[in-house]
A and B are shown apart, each in its own frame.
Chain A
Amino acid sequence: MDLNFTQEYEDFRAEVRSFLASNKDKAPSHADRSVRSEKRLAWQKILLENGYAARTHPKEYGGYGAEPDALKARIIAEEFARAGVPGGMAGQGINMLVPTLLELGTDEQKEKYIKPTLSGEMVWCQGYSEPGAGSDLASLRTAAVVDGDDFVINGQKIWTSTAQFADMMFCLVRTEPDAPKHQGISYILIDMNTPGIEVRPLMTMTGFAEFNEVFFTDVRVPVTSIVGQRGEGWMVANATLTHERGMLGDPDAALSRLRAIAEIMKKEHIDGKPLIDDAVYRDRLVRLQAEAQAMKMNGMRLTTLASEKKSSGMAGLLVKLQGCELNHQMAELAIDVMGEYGMLYEDSPFSRDKGMWQTHYMFDLGMIIGGGSAQIQKNIISERGLGMPREPKPTPGTFKAN
């Protein structure tokens, strides 16, 4: 154990700080939710030039070309968080499509898509889930049939965030209907302006449309839009999952949220006493603090494992399950300590932070379900982490609920 950074890294930290000190006024605010405002694009350009976005992507495609270094990545995340400045763009195009193209794309595809994606000018959405294909994604049915030089696509996607802004979609479609389900899928790139695509916002319990449904009716895209070969889409999509593990969250994020709740408890008074004086609520606060502390240390361990290029093992597999649950429980506590004020939402008179904790409470439940539900996470942990066997599959058609 050595929690000090060597001089090389302290120098790097100083470099990041001085960059932030002289450039932070050019950064958009966190509240700026627009995907492509001029300010965001200009900020992304500055970050790319200085190696604070797309740091390890090749220079020829608009990246910075640095060697991967988990400690430097960590320092950048820490310093941007400390300065309250948004970091580089992190959409699904940058995080998932670009690594896929770098590994499996043709030269034309790399040339055409990577640079504008990294610069933020080209926005992508991910077309994976369908109404009938959630946890069992490989059962997806959106069909692409070859007709001349085109694929003709019919079907529906769901849970498509940013589809309303996206220029492009990377999408899993079924091209080989007679093949076994994992071998009948292809990975294709679709221009969202193609006729026959309809995007409908999907209103959620939070009162916002965080997602969309996307409908395809005889949508024609050139057969050259495929990444990899026909029937290899499942493998192509999974190739990026190894990259996804490279993205480490901010280990301090849960503790910052915890500190915000402690502040509420000091500030809010009932019968003349601050809520922090209530032993029961305080016990809940410290209980969550202990768990947040454990997750922070687990995150530090992951940073070291990544910088040593070692497998993260169980410590990595558990992060989504435990992290989402912890966030949800913290939002629950923030609401409970506020009592009746905790139920106020949005622009209600007397609402605190515009009911932000209610938004967290609901959105974090969505996070527990989405991106591989808690139950799927537990399957992964038990199978990959503990070596327990998969559940045997019933013979198709023999298994019916009543």
Chain B
Amino acid sequence: MYFGLSEDQLMLQDSVGRYLEGASELEEVRKFVDGDGALAETLQKGLEELGVPFVLLPEAQGGLGMGVLEAALISEMLGRHVSPSAFTAAYGIAVIGLREAGDEDWLSQIASGSARMGVGLTEAIGGRDDAGLTISGDTVSGRASFVMGADGATHFLLTTGDQLVVVERGAKGVSETQLTTIDRTRTVLTLDLDNVAASVVAGNNHAEAQRKMIDVGRVLLAADSLGAAAMMLEKAVEYSKDRDQFNRPIASFQAVKHMCAEMAAKLEPCRAMIWYAAYAQDHVPEEASLMACLAKSHMQEVGKFVARTATEVHGGMGFTDLLGLHYWFKRIGANRQLLGGPEKLRAEAAELQGWAG
């Protein structure tokens, strides 16, 4: 019995973290947010050199054939550095879905770099009246809302409810609406499709594939928030040691210490929980969906607490754009809603355990 990370996993996380610490500095992230999209592609190339996009791709298609835990460790680092990267959607959720469905063609194209997929799953979780896709012959029409991983995407992997389809970006009949979310470090789109040529993903187990995409996506978003929240806590502690009021560092006031202690005490168990939820995706299939719901719902509650408390520890400066702390605050805020907010996730968790009424 060994509950923890292996040497290899620690090395992977460390190398990704060290790369992003330099390449995804806040000043670079600000440029991306201000409309210069270059950083997403710079990071894509840098992460490719570290093998990051190939982590979940099967070895048969030239990938590394690793597990969801490795992917979660990468998502955690991306959240930690508020990095504009499509990894979680394009190389996490999409690859898991195609792997589960057994679509070797698309997996090979992703491995070779000729395809990169944004992901639209919102309607499989809780669709609005004005959204949803329908297939008619070889074409698909309707609306896919909150499509993730759009930066650098060549294709979109979308749900029609019971099937997974791929459409080419820019194909005839596709219109993209870029959304302005609080979190500008990742691009989110709404797609309107009018008789767009679509290819149905291989395999006939799309329900299972979709389930897996949702579960893994939830775990990776939780990991992203873990990284962002851990960084906010570290920044709060550092700031409190530097900031003097009443002739002493505010870190020596119990009011401030207790805020930081509460953040740390709530956050640290999330780490073990997310490790396990990620591990369960590959090794404990009967718990995979439940653990994804519990891990994401809990992480998002703790994440919200850390985001607001760390901001308070920074006082007025936390509220300004000067420190840029709000980028982490907003990343956590967006992750909370994507693929299901806490109440929705807890309702699903209850249902999975037969506790539904």
Contact = CB atoms under 8 A, between A and B. Distances in A.
B269 A322 contact: yes
A295 B257 contact: no
Could you tell me the dominant secondary structure of chain A's interface residues? Answer: helix
18 contacts: A279-B357, A286-B297, A290-B273, A293-B273, A294-B272, A294-B273, A298-B268, A300-B276, A304-B2, A315-B269, A317-B265, A378-B258, A379-B254, A379-B258, A382-B257, A388-B241, A388-B251, A388-B257
Contacts of A378: 254, 257-258, 261-262, 265
B279 A318 contact: no
Q: Which of A5, A273, A389 has the most CB of B within 10 A?
A: A389
B257 A383 contact: yes
A381 B346 contact: no
Contact of A276 (B256, B294, B342, B357): B357
Given A2-B1, A298-B268, A389-B249, A290 B346 contact: yes
Contacts of B295: 290
Interface string B217-249: 000000000000000000001001100000011
B5 A382 contact: no
A304 B346 contact: no
Contacts of B265: 317-318, 321-322, 377-378, 381
Contacts of A293: 273, 291, 294, 298
A348 to B, nearest CB: 29
B1 A381 contact: no
A315 B268 contact: yes
A9 B1 CA distance: 9
B3 A3 contact: yes
B169 to A, nearest CB: 37
Given A276-B355, A286-B350, A293-B291, 8 more contacts: A3-B284, A273-B357, A282-B347, A282-B357, A315-B268, A317-B265, A378-B258, A382-B257
B293 to A, nearest CB: 8
A371 to B, nearest CB: 16
A379 B257 contact: yes
B329 interface: no
B3 A301 contact: yes
A177 interface: no
A107 B299 CA distance: 52
B252 A391 contact: yes
Contacts of B201: none
Interface of A: 1-6, 9, 71, 74, 262, 265, 273-274, 276-279, 282-283, 285-287, 289-291, 293-295, 297-298, 300-301, 303-305, 307, 314-315, 317-318, 321-322, 375, 377-379, 381-383, 385-392
B294 to A, nearest CB: 4
B273 A386 contact: no
Contacts of B355: 262, 265, 276, 282, 285-286
A304 B275 CA distance: 14
Given A294-B273, A297-B275, A388-B257, A286 B346 contact: yes
Interface of B: 1-6, 69, 237, 240-241, 248-249, 251-254, 256-258, 260-262, 264-266, 268-273, 275-276, 279, 283-284, 291, 294-295, 297-298, 301, 342-343, 346-347, 349-350, 353, 355-357
B298 A300 contact: no
A283 B341 CA distance: 13
A262 B350 CA distance: 10
Contacts of A4: 1
Nearest to A301: B272
Contacts of A291: 269, 298
B345 to A, nearest CB: 8
B222 to A, nearest CB: 11
A387 B251 CA distance: 9
A305 B3 CA distance: 8
B326 to A, nearest CB: 22
B249 A1 contact: no
B1 A297 contact: no
A301 B357 CA distance: 35
Contacts of B249: 389
Contacts of A303: 1, 3
Contacts of B1: 2-6, 9, 71, 74, 303-304, 307
Contact of B3 (A278, A290, A300): A300
A297 B274 CA distance: 9
A381 to B, nearest CB: 4
A223 B262 CA distance: 45
Nearest to B296: A290
Contacts of B346: 282-283, 286-287, 290
Given A276-B355, A279-B357, A294-B272, A1 B5 contact: yes
